[in-house]
């Protein structure tokens, strides 16, 4: 599997404060599940990955594009529109298909008329698995047949267990550098699991990314009902890994994480003027509706899913034990979202009103991101029973706690500076 249920692809960092109306539209279409990889933290099942053709029918893809064009055209004004074709290896489907999805994706971006065209792109997931000569030849042919100048950016997913394989490194480097030269940019994504954090240290991933010319690294942690034993098996180890990776990224300007900006932005946007965090209900009502309008995913059957950001992207889908917003056959995307909104908000509030979350000091921040999906999976799969009732069921608390503490320390220093200057 190549990406979580949709990774946070941003061609440029988002503004630090969440705007009342988000100016970026993020879309993912889950059209391909075929993959030769076996990442333990994959949201796809082994059976899903076995296919060798696109999973989304032509009719569903056409309808998805029609609905998305309409949604993009009516969501403005937009600064950026980014559309990812996920979840697995599009190179396995062939050059004709790649050319086709680029043309379709470009039409959605055109419809959104984003002001920042240079940072609006169509992404496609791939594992870059295969003989370097044939993979590079396919990439070259794809690039030469693109019909519009909308960027087409490979999102390459790395199985953490392969990072130390002697043969794998040089072969990958050759393919990654060729892809970078052809498409101008390559993003790296990896799926976290107990296995992956045991095989690949944060330092090793950072070094691998730098050595192989990746511009961005997105870490996905996406528990599903099927992968719960791998993703929720040792959450203490995964949290430790994330905190170390975050610290590395803070030190190295060449490395960014997607989860720190998401959590920092959420803290920033929900803090009241008096410095106190708002209630859980207020935070959800303030943040989630706009997130859902500007961040959506459509699965291979046409189900419309809200795409949240926690550690990478995560959705409300059957595989996470949660109901979708609706199906694109039901009507326009805006009408499906409006109808489903009260149900989604009350689901998120309900998940945070139970167990350790009900008394957690970070519940409002947590609810403004997508951590509730992992909480739901932990409870439904029985994984939360291995934790004490008063403990966070997964990685959210330590990660939010660290980022919140650092933000408060910076704020306190700034306040001291202001007082000192006023003396
Ligand atoms: S940080 Fe953990 S305990 Fe707190 S609300 Fe989130 S999931 Fe629940």
For the stretch 260-283, pLDDT in tens is: 999 998 998 887 655 566 789 988
How many Å lie between the centroid of ligand 1 and the Cα of residue 360?
Answer: 6
Is 404 a pocket residue for ligand 1 (Cβ < 6 Å)?
no
Of all atoms in ligand 1, which is nearest to the CA of residue 356?
Answer: 3
Question: How far is 303 from 359, CA to CA, in rounded Å?
Answer: 34
How many Å lie between the centroid of ligand 1 and the Cα of residue 389?
Answer: 12
| pLDDT of 115 above 50 | yes
Question: How far is 64 from 345, CA to CA, in rounded Å?
Answer: 24
Of all atoms in ligand 1, which is nearest to the CA of residue 360?
Answer: 4
Is residue 16 assigned to a domain? yes
Residue 41 near residue 230 (C-beta atoms within 8 A): yes
Of all atoms in ligand 1, which is nearest to the CA of residue 396?
Answer: 1
Q: Which of 238, 60, 49, 72 is nearest to 127 (CA)?
A: 49
Is residue 333 assigned to a domain? yes
Q: How many CA atoms lie within 13 A of 138 on its CB side?
A: 20
How many Å lie between the centroid of ligand 1 and the Cα of residue 372?
Answer: 8
Q: What is the distance in angstroms between the CA of the first residue and the CA of the last residue of the chain? A: 59
How many Å lie between the centroid of ligand 1 and the Cα of residue 411?
Answer: 24
Is residue 343 assigned to a domain? yes
Question: How far is 15 from 253, CA to CA, in rounded Å?
Answer: 17
Per-residue pLDDT tens digits for 311-337 = 999 999 999 999 999 999 999 999 999
Is 360 a pocket residue for ligand 1 (Cβ < 6 Å)?
yes
Listed range (137-146, 154-163, 218-227, 294-303) with the worst mean pLDDT: 154-163
Is residue 72 assigned to a domain? yes
Of all atoms in ligand 1, which is nearest to the CA of residue 372?
Answer: 7
Of all atoms in ligand 1, which is nearest to the CA of residue 363?
Answer: 5
Is 180 a pocket residue for ligand 1 (Cβ < 6 Å)?
no
pLDDT band at 10 (very low <50, low <70, confident <90, very high): very low
Those residues with Cβ within 8 angstroms of residue 34's Cβ, 6 or more apart along the chain or in another chain = 49, 50, 51, 52, 53, 54, 55, 88, 89, 92, 93
Is the model more confident about 8 or about 303?
Answer: 303
> Cα–Cα distances in Å, from 420 out to 114, 350, 406, 423?
44, 45, 21, 5
* DSSP bridge partners of 304: 298, 326
The DSSP result for 177-206, as a single string, is: HHHHHHHS--EEEEE--HHHHHH--HHHHH
Those residues with Cβ within 8 angstroms of residue 12's Cβ, 6 or more apart along the chain or in another chain = 80, 116, 119
Q: What value does the mean pLDDT take over residues 63-69? A: 98
Question: How far is 385 from 307, CA to CA, in rounded Å?
Answer: 27
Per-residue pLDDT tens digits for 123-162 = 999 988 888 999 999 999 999 999 999 999 999 988 777 7
The kind and range of the H/E element at 419 are helix 396-422
Is 108 a pocket residue for ligand 1 (Cβ < 6 Å)?
no
Domain count of the fold of the chain: 1
Return the percentage of the chain with pLDDT > 70, whole number: 89
Is residue 422 assigned to a domain? no
Q: What value does the mean pLDDT take over residues 3-27? A: 53
Identify the CATH number of the domain in which residue 63 sits. Answer: 3.20.20.70
Is the model more confident about 50 or about 285?
Answer: 285
Of all atoms in ligand 1, which is nearest to the CA of residue 391?
Answer: 3
| pLDDT of 385 above 70 | no
How many Å lie between the centroid of ligand 1 and the Cα of residue 293?
Answer: 24
What pLDDT score does 79 carry?
97
Per-residue pLDDT tens digits for 162-180 = 777 767 778 888 898 999 9
Pocket-testing residue among 239, 270, 357, ligand 1, by greatest number of atoms within 8 A of Cβ:
357
How many Å lie between the centroid of ligand 1 and the Cα of residue 236?
Answer: 14
pTM of the model: 0.89
Q: Where are the beta strands (DSSP E) in 52-173?
A: 80-87, 121-126, 152-158
pLDDT band at 412 (very low <50, low <70, confident <90, very high): confident
Q: Is 165 exposed, middle or buried, given 0-12, 13-18 or 19+ CB atoms closer than 10 A?
A: exposed
How many Å lie between the centroid of ligand 1 and the Cα of residue 156?
Answer: 31
Q: How many CB atoms lie within 10 A of CB 404?
A: 19
Sign of CA dihedral 110, 111, 116, 120: negative
| pLDDT of 78 above 80 | yes
The whole domain housing 95 covers 9-417
Is 352 a pocket residue for ligand 1 (Cβ < 6 Å)?
yes
| pLDDT of 57 above 50 | yes
Is residue 1 assigned to a domain? no
| pLDDT of 14 above 60 | no
How many Å lie between the centroid of ligand 1 and the Cα of residue 357?
Answer: 5
pLDDT band at 403 (very low <50, low <70, confident <90, very high): very high
pLDDT band at 382 (very low <50, low <70, confident <90, very high): confident
Is residue 423 assigned to a domain? no
Is residue 306 assigned to a domain? yes
| pLDDT of 198 above 80 | yes
Strand pairing category for 24-32 and 312-315: unpaired
Q: What value does the mean pLDDT take over residues 62-69? A: 98
pLDDT band at 365 (very low <50, low <70, confident <90, very high): very high
Is 396 a pocket residue for ligand 1 (Cβ < 6 Å)?
yes
Is 375 a pocket residue for ligand 1 (Cβ < 6 Å)?
yes
How many Å lie between the centroid of ligand 1 and the Cα of residue 253?
Answer: 30
């Amino acid at each position: 599997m190549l990406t979580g249920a949709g990774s946070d692809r941003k061609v440029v960092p988002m503004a630090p404060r969440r705007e009342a109306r988000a100016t970026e539209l993020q879309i993912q279409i889950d059209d391909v599940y075929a993959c030769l990889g076996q990442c333990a933290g994959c949201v796809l099942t082994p059976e899903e990955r076995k296919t060798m053709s696109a999973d989304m029918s032509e009719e569903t893809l056409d309808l998805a594009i029609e609905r998305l064009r309409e949604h993009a055209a009516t969501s403005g004004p937009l600064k950026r529109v980014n559309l990812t074709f996920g979840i697995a290896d599009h190179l396995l489907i062939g050059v004709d298909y790649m050319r086709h999805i680029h043309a379709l994706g470009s039409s959605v971006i055109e419809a959104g008329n984003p002001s920042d065209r240079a940072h609006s792109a169509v992404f496609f997931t791939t594992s870059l698995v295969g003989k370097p000569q044939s993979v590079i030849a396919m990439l070259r042919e794809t690039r030469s047949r693109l019909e519009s100048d909308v960027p087409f950016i490979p999102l390459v997913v790395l199985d953490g267990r392969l990072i130390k394989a002697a043969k794998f490194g040089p072969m990958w480097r050759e393919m990654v550098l060729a892809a970078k030269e052809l498409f101008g940019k390559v993003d790296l994504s990896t799926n976290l699991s107990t296995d992956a954090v045991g095989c690949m240290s944060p330092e090793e991933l950072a070094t691998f990314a730098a050595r192989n010319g990746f511009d961005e690294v997105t870490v996905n942690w996406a528990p599903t009902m099927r992968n719960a034993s791998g993703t929720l098996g040792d959450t203490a180890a995964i949290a430790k890994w994330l905190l170390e990776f975050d610290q590395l990224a803070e030190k190295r300007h060449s490395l960014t994480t997607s989860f720190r900006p998401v959590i920092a932005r959420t803290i920033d946007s929900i803090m009241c003027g008096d410095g106190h965090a708002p209630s859980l209900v207020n935070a959800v009502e303030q943040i989630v509706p706009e997130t859902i309008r500007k961040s959506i995913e459509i699965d291979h059957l046409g189900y419309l899913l809200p795409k949240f950001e926690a550690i990478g992207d995560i959705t409300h889908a059957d595989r996470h034990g949660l109901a979708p917003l609706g199906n694109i056959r039901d009507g326009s995307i805006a009408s499906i979202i409006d109808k489903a909104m009260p149900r989604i908000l009350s689901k998120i509030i309900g998940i945070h009103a139970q167990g350790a979350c009900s008394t957690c000091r970070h519940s409002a921040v947590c609810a403004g991101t997508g951590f509730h999906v992992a909480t739901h999976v932990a409870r439904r799969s029985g994984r939360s029973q291995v934790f004490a009732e008063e403990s966070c069921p997964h990685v959210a608390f330590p990660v939010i706690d660290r980022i919140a503490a650092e933000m408060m320390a910076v704020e306190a220093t700034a306040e001291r500076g202001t007082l000192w200057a006023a003396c």
